[in-house]
Amino acid sequence: MTTFDKREQGFEAKFAHDEEFMFKATARSNKLLGLWAAGQLGLSGDAAASYATALVTDNLESQTDDVVAKVSGDLAAKGVAREQVAQKLQECLHQALAQLEADK
């Protein structure tokens, strides 16, 4: 195996690791957002956990805008603006990244 092949394998491994890390961070941030939104909706206990889990599982292939649209639609009756949901999602992503880094 040449040095070039080893380097290529190293880059591929790093790419796969980074993609997996971001997938986990996105899923965790969606769950955190779901728990926050559930609280805004007055849900607690199993109902809150179910809402958060559904947000994660229903949006595994979705983009961030889809998640924000779903949650902001659910919270529209509570007077929560889309921008507020988007900001909260960013906060949740930072929190998820910090949690995953701490888990290493």
**What are 32-44's pLDDT values in tens digits?**
999 999 999 999 9
Rounded Cα distance between 83 and 43, Å, is 22
**Element spanning 61, H or E:** none
Domains of the chain: 3-103 (1.10.790.20)
pLDDT in tens, 89-104: 999 999 999 999 998 6
Rounded Cα distance between 52 and 11, Å, is 34
Q: What is the pTM of this model?
A: 0.86
> What are the structure tokens assigned to 92, written together?
């949740």
Residue 7 pLDDT class (50, 70, 90 cuts): confident
Amino acid, single-letter form, for residue 3: T
Rounded Cα distance between 71 and 77, Å, is 11
